[in-house]
Amino acid sequence: MNSSFRFIRALKRQPVDSTPVWFMRQAGRYLPEYRAMRERVGGFLGMCQNPEIAAEITLQPLKRFPLDAAIIFSDILTIPDAMGLGLYFATHEGPHFQNPIRDAKAVAKLPIPCPEADLGYVMDAVRLTVKECGDKTPVIGFCGSPWTVATYMVEGQGSRTFSIIKAMMMNEPLVLKGLLQKVTQASCQYLEAQIQAGVEAVMVFDTWGGALSGAAYHEFSLHYMQEIVRYLKAKTLTQSIPIILFTKQGGQWLESIADTGCDAIGIDWTQDLANAKARVGRQVALQGNLDPTVLYARPDIIQREVQGVLANYGYGSGHIFNLGHGIFPDVNPEHVAAMIEAVKKYSPRYHQAEMIKDNAQNGTV
């Protein structure tokens, strides 16, 4: 691992010269070059499954902006697709599965995919991207949380109510836990393989954990993310790789998330960053949390809002600037540039004292 990367140092709560910045969905539809690529290739899944194209898309935002990390272009539903559920993307409707999981028999039949054999296109994309980034930029690998992935597997598509999987959770909890355990096992191996391929940090996206009650969240979502953390932290090859956990609308559970042993927590825009820092900032780094809709504002307003996020976290290390969720596809790329420029301009003052102290301790001043 290259510990000189600003992003990696911040994840480890080590001194940095400025707050590192990247953002969720930074390779995607808001970029005209991405839309042109999709038009040529003919579909999202086809781009994900072509390592050369996936690597090229991953690098597109880095060619535009001075970002501190790249996140591999892929999807959280690659694992269930490799399990044989028949993933497809309907026009303007998002992901669908031809073979949703509805009972114990279907769970029992699910195979655990081999990362290199069944998801090798992801590992090849990682290797190509890491080679291209070299010692300039770290690459982030990721997976969906077992709960979030399972919602699509059971519902068969995205849902607003999660009625089918919640009915399974209440009526047949052991069936759901069997499914979650299989997805967890596959996710552990998947992230391990991404690390072997060269990623220098990993992130678990729990998009739908906030749809659960507190007790259900701990039992059906956080428990399985903690299993992933324990698995990676127990292995010599992977134990030093920083792990970021992100539960959308999970601010009420920050202490429990920090107790998993993860290195950082993603904070959505509904949470107060200063409050989050006071609660868990001595235990983990924090990532976030600009409201994505701010990027619809004028550049001067974006600059003001960025300053607000930086001030809210305050002085010292352990902050990675990010959006509170993914970027919207109709955002002007120039507004993204304004956000990043503001982070680069205004964040160094929050690190100067710590850097002077660190340099003095290391005899560099």
Which residues are catalytic, by number?
A: 25, 29, 38, 75, 152
User: Rounded CA gap, 37 and 53, in Å?
Assistant: 8
Please confirm whether the linkage preceding 99 is cis (ω < 30° from 0).
Answer: no
On whether 207 is known to bind a ligand per the annotation, the reply is yes
Does 28 belong to an annotated binding site?
Answer: yes
Q: Is 27 annotated as a binding residue?
A: yes
Quote the CA–CA distance of 197 and 127 in Å, as a whole number: 6
Any known ligand binding at 29? yes
Residue 26, annotated ligand binder? yes
Strands 139-144 and 94-97, bridge-based pairing: unpaired
Is 363 annotated as ligand-binding?
no
Q: Cα separation of 199 and 196, whole Å?
A: 7
What's the CA gap between 183 and 177, in Å, rounded?
10
CA 130 – CA 198 distance, rounded (Å): 6
Tell me the two tokens of residue 48.
Answer: 């994900």
In sequence order, the 6+-apart residues with CB closer than 8 A to the CB of 147 are 180, 206, 208, 209, 212, 220, 221, 224
Q: Confirm or deny that 42 is annotated as ligand binding.
A: no
Would you give the DSSP letter of residue 342? H
Rounded to an integer, what distance in angstroms lies between the CA atom of residue 273 and that of residue 277?
6
CA 303, CA 223: separation in Å to the nearest integer? 38
Cα R_g (the chain), whole angstroms: 20
| Residue 152 annotated as binding site | yes
| Residue numbers belonging to the annotated binding site for substrate | 25-29, 75, 152, 207, 325
In the annotated binding site, the residues are 25-29, 75, 152, 207, 325
